[in-house]
Structure 1
Amino acid sequence: MTEPILRDINPSFDPEGKFLYFLSYRDFSPVYDNLHFDLGFPRGMRPFLITLQADQRSPFIAEPKPLVEPEENKEEDSCKEDENVDQMVEQHDGQEQKKKEGDQLVQIDLEGIMDRVVAFPVSEGRYGQIAGIKNKVYFTALPIPGSEEKSRLEMYDLEKHEKETIANDVSGFKVSSNYKILAYRSADKLRIIKAGEKAPDKGESTRVGGWINLGRIKVSVDPGAERRQMYREAWRLQREHFWVEDMSGVDWDFVYDRYLPLLDRITTRSEFSDLMWEMQGELGTSHAYESGGDYRANPHNYGQGFLGAEFGYDASDQTYEILRILQGDSWLEGKDSPLNSPGINIRVGDKLMAVNGRKFDQEISPEQLLVNQAGSEITLTVKTDDPENPTRTVSIKAIGDERSVYYRQWVTQNRKTVYTKTEGKVGYVHIPDMGVKGYAEFYRSYLSEINCSALIVDVRCNGGGHVSQLILETLARKRIGYNLQRWGAPTPYPGGSLLGPIVAITDELAGSDGDIFSHCFKLMKLGTLIGKRTWGGVIGISPRYTLVDGSKTTQPEYSFWFQDVDWGVENYGTDPDIEIDITPQDHMRNEDPQLNKAIEEILVQLEENPPKLPDFGTKPDLSFSGSLPS
């Protein structure tokens, strides 16, 4: 039907048989990145239609029409203005027979159909669904991830040549089979309105407002029957979506029969989860997960408050001495120790005496008094060595999670260690995962660290994802030229390319796309890999199926093959060039032998092949001989 430039998706027929609507990726309008030299296509989509008959004109070209429509051509609307939603639903059922009797064949002229593609006169964007009613077309406009916009349900009127927003914050919609009713979903709510009209301003769960009161739905659940159905469903999903049809030789029917009798012994949801993991574990592959489900909500959800600091109890005066204050990103709320807030002026060596007026003793610690204080304003009574103000009380906001603060402190300390031991010649980048967060963390460091002569890339504890190929592509850039200017230093070509060697550090906690990065770093001969053998799980997933109680299972769908080891990374990982472990004794001494070895190795490489700017030689001489006539 179409000859896509990239991809054509979600086709939907016009109810009158004139057009085929669809969404297409065929708009290429690149946008410059705001942080480094790059271009991207954040939108790229638009609604389109195909005229099904060769003589059907584009509906977007206005045709002359009389100002007043003749009375004999007016069609009487079957849904009166005072008709409510309940009546429309009843009418829908009654019209099914009439619809069947009135069905007609749709003529489709296939010759030249690929040349009859017409774009809707709407802006390029991101779109999710498209469907038509008589003379009108619905489509969902989606926001660019990270923006503050919300998804919208929009309608284009083919007669008025106008687009209007029907409703905001819409995740999906459905048009009834008689094209009279529109149902759409917003978050966890459902609404039914008359098709072709804008959603009423009233937001009640009434006939006028259209919102469905889902609280009226009462479901009686037989846990045993529900678990049996979910067990079968999860087993079937693996059978249909596992990456190879023969299930890698596993007798999947035998596995089903083997675990089925255990269902009768299950008494709790967590036991069912254990059974699911055991059943799917028979596949012997990575990424066969089960998560979520109908668990009771925790009635004791007390948010633990944190101060982003470490303390030691001093029995002499029943205080807690501040031993360390973590340094995070002070410009981001909740990402730094609140003790670093401007004007607080609390330092290492000061002593905490009380939280919210409650004093400590050997039985009461700061952590106990910070229970249920996450995100709350609290007071700290502090004892200092200032003779003029030895005791003072300050107000701060406790943070709800200090893991990101510890992470930033760890990365910053590693970078300082590298700088100190290499005299600033070597840069340091850590990549926590291969998702959006890891990609951001990579460029946060890389754009400044490439100014060093060499680079250490740390992927220890990498949680995986899918962006390894983008990062490897960046690291693989080879410097082949320079751009010289009169008033600045030479800049490399291509931009973002390194001058000297790269060393990577990995470990047994680098998995999935962390495995792939580590293996391909060696395969592409980008540098030396140091650390421990990686996790060994490279059969990817697309989590999209939900079981009846809300839990999810994943099916290993995409198995990675590499030209050097075939399928050998799965269930094994990749070996480093230089194996270095971190022992418990190293942890106790706060030492990092893997990072130290990486520094040692890269200094050797710098000494053996010191990187330096080339001698650009004599600049071009464009002088010419001759003189002006006197």
Structure 2
Amino acid sequence: MRLLTVVLAAALALPALAEKPRIKTFDEAWRTTRDRFYDKTMNGRDWAALKEEYRPLAKKAKTQEELIGITNRMLGELGVSHLVLIPKEAYQDHFVPEMGGKPTPQVGFEAVEVDGKLFVRNLLEGGPADKAGIRRGDRLVRIAGVEAKASERLTAAGSDPGLPWPPLWYVAADGKEPVELVIESKKGRSRTVTIRPEPISMVQASENSVRVIRHGGMKFGYVHTWHFLTPLIYGTVSKAMTEKFEDCDGLLLDIRGRGGSPLVMNAILGLFRTGAWDRPVVLLVDDRSRSAKEIFTWVFMDEDLGPTVGRTTEGAVLGSTFVELSDGSCLLVPVQNAQFYTKGEKLEGVGVTPHHVVDFPLPYANGYDEILEFGKERLEIEVKRRRARAAIAMLLRLVS
């Protein structure tokens, strides 16, 4: 099991001089956090003392991966979101391409640990795993013949060391060789699935998610925005509204998952504020909706744009920036509290609780999505209410 996104080359065979770049990375991360952190009290922690505690451990690190792990343990002591040191390869090979919607070879799902076992939580719509029949709730038993949790291919999808949430994991792939997985969809009944990784991005998965759902004699548009990192996501939502959802009765806007840019957040909010979408909408959120998506949810509720359904959001709401260090690694550091977006209300460490809280059991769910199903029921109610109001208004006009 690998932490962060990649395993960097071991440094055991390097000369002693190689120790300086490693400890320099630690020192730069400590100093940058001291200088840029949004709270000058360092969240009530003695930042200098933490350096003295962790620096000897960093000096003993034998690999860059180990050094980054130690550095992130120190950063996690501040107990906040958006504070993490990201390896150079992870940032350049995964985050930067996603910002531009550039596809990279992927198996196409994320898993989370529940009671010591790994279960598929999220699938990239139209990705290799989705097309291979893997479903939400499937247990990941083995990867390429190795017990899943012990596999070197199992890679953390990124997490805040200062938050208590268990990390999401994905299966690393170079796109050259197929990956053999043992999957358990029902307890005690496993099957082998061979997946050939294909280039895909979360932007493409968001585009692939666009569909019309028929429910109760109505037509509902559905789109899942994997993140708010790029205006391409706004384009996906806007295009779906004006084209595929043109004759739909309502909209299910699914913002479960990662955060992103306030600019994208405001652009999508504008579609509802200005009446570009003039029919009922239900917002779907969960405990991994974070950052800009949490602000989006708060504003959506504050402005009474529609019902919200799901789970209390992650509580990871700080304005942050990326700072590249001298070795090419990248420090994500929070530089503002972001409460000006929410009329002074603090969401960091708290989250946003939707109007309708829904249970979301994962193990062996067989693809069933309680949040989506409840959202459909709620949207049906909203459409019927709208129709009833329109009928009453017409009747009043006729008798006046």
Q: TM-score range by the shorter chain?
A: 0.5 to 0.7
Does 2:211 align with 1:433? no
1:508 to 287, 290, 305: 287
Identity of counterpart residues, as a percentage? 23
CA distance in 2, matches of 1:446, 1:246: 46
Following TM superposition, by how much is the alpha carbon of 1:564 offset from its aligned partner in structure 2, in angstroms? 6.4
Please state if 1:453 is matched with 2:252. no
CA pair 443-586 structure 1, distance change in 2 beyond 3 A: farther
Residues 1:288 and 2:83 aligned together:
yes
The alpha-carbon deviation at position 570 of structure 1 amounts to 0.5
Which protein shows a greater Rg? 1
Q: Which residue of 2 aligns with 1:556?
A: 334
Q: Do residues 521 (structure 1) and 300 (structure 2) align?
A: yes
Partners of 1:294 and 1:452 lie apart in 2 by 43
Q: Structure 1 unaligned segments of length 5 or more: list them.
A: 1-218, 296-302, 308-325, 340-347, 349-362, 364-370, 377-397, 479-495, 619-630
Higher relative contact order (CA 8 A, sep 6+): 2
CA contact (8 A) 1:269 1:294 kept: no
Q: 1:275 to 1:427 in 2, by over 3 A?
A: same
Asked whether the 8 Å contact 1:290–1:554 carries over to 2, the reply is yes
Change in Cα spacing, 1:255 to 1:441, as seen in structure 2 (3 Å) is same
User: Where does residue 6 of structure 1 map in the other structure?
Assistant: none
Superposition deviation, residue 586 in structure 1: 6.5
CA offsets per residue over residues 312-354 of structure 1, 9 Å max, x none? xxxxxxxxxxxxxx9959xxxx9x98x9xxxxxxxx9xxxxxx
Q: Report what 2:268 is aligned to.
A: 471
Report the Cα distance in structure 2 between the residues aligned to 1:406 and 1:516, rounded to whole angstroms: 24
How big is the alpha-carbon RMSD for the aligned residues of Structure 1 and Structure 2? 4.0
1:598 shift after superposition: 1.0
Q: Distance in 2 between matches of 1:400 and 1:519?
A: 36
Partner SS state of residue 446, structure 1: helix
Write the distance in 1 (CA, Å) between the matches of 2:175 and 2:222. 36
Q: What secondary structure, in the 3-state scheme, does the structure 2 residue paired with 1:527 have?
A: coil
Q: Is it true that 1:569 corresponds to 2:347 in the alignment?
A: yes
Quote the Cα distance in structure 2 between the aligned partners of 1:261 and 1:426.
Answer: 58
TM-score (norm 2): 0.63
- The C-alpha deviation readout for 1:86-118, integer Å capped at 9, x for no partner, is xxxxxxxxxxxxxxxxxxxxxxxxxxxxxxxxx
Query: 2:198 aligned with 1:400, yes or no?
Result: yes
Which sections of structure 2, spanning at least 5 residues, go unmatched?
A: 1-13, 91-103, 109-123, 134-144, 146-172, 179-195
Distance in 2 of aligned mates of 1:294 and 1:328: 26
Note closer, same or farther for the CA distance 1:477–1:232 as it changes in structure 2 (3 Å cut).
Answer: same
- Output the amino acid matched with 1:430: H
8 Å contact from structure 2 (residues 290, 316) kept in 1: yes
- The answer to whether 1:421 aligns with 2:215 is yes
Task: Pick one of 596, 600, 606 that aligns with 2:383.
Answer: 606
Q: Deviations over 1:178-223 (max 9, x none)?
A: xxxxxxxxxxxxxxxxxxxxxxxxxxxxxxxxxxxxxxxxx98723
TM-fit CA distance, 1:259:
1.3
In structure 1, how many angstroms separate the alpha carbons of the residues matched to 2:292 and 2:281? Answer: 19
Change (3 A) 1:581 1:565: farther
Per the TM alignment, residue 236 of structure 1 is displaced from its structure 2 partner at its CA by 1.0
CA–CA separation in structure 1 for the residues paired with 2:29 and 2:385 = 56
- Displacement of 1:282: 1.7
C-alpha spacing 1:280/1:408, structure 2 compared with 1 (3 Å): closer
State the shift of 1:265 in Å: 2.8
Letter in structure 2 aligned against 1:605: E
Residue type at the aligned position of 1:271: E
**1:439 corresponds to which letter in structure 2?**
Y
SS of the aligned residue for 2:21 comes to helix
Which one-letter code corresponds to 2:353 in the other structure?
A: D
Correspondence for 1:481: none
For residues 204 and 341 of structure 2, the distance between their equivalents in structure 1, rounded to whole angstroms, comes to 39
The answer as to whether partners of 1:238 and 1:555 remain within 8 angstroms in 2 is: yes
Are the equivalent residues in 2 in contact too, given 1:586–1:592 (CA < 8 A)?
no
- CA distance 1:408–1:552, change in 2 (3 Å): closer
Alignment of 1:272-283 (within 5 A): 272-283=67-78
CA distance in 2, matches of 1:282, 1:519: 28
For residue 428 of structure 1, report the CA deviation from its aligned partner: 2.0
TM-score normalised by structure 1 residue count: 0.41
The answer to whether structure 1 residue 242 and structure 2 residue 37 are counterparts is yes
Q: Assess if the C-alpha contact under 8 Å between 1:328 and 1:409 holds in 2.
A: no
Alpha-carbon distance between aligned partners in 1 of 2:29 and 2:107, rounded to the nearest angstrom:
40
Residues 362-409 of structure 1 show CA distances to partners (whole Å, capped at 9, x for unaligned) of x9xxxxxxx987499xxxxxxxxxxxxxxxxxxxxx763367699469
Q: Deviations over 1:207-263 (max 9, x none)?
A: xxxxxxxxxxxx987232223322222111111111132223222112212212223
Residue 503 and residue 235 in structure 1: after superposition, are their counterparts in 2 closer, same or farther (change >3 A)? same
User: Which letter maps to 1:521?
Assistant: F
| 1:440 shift after superposition | 2.8
For residues 219 and 208 of structure 2, the distance between their equivalents in structure 1, rounded to whole angstroms, comes to 20
- The 3-state SS of whatever aligns with 1:420 is strand
Q: Secondary structure at the match of 1:401?
A: strand
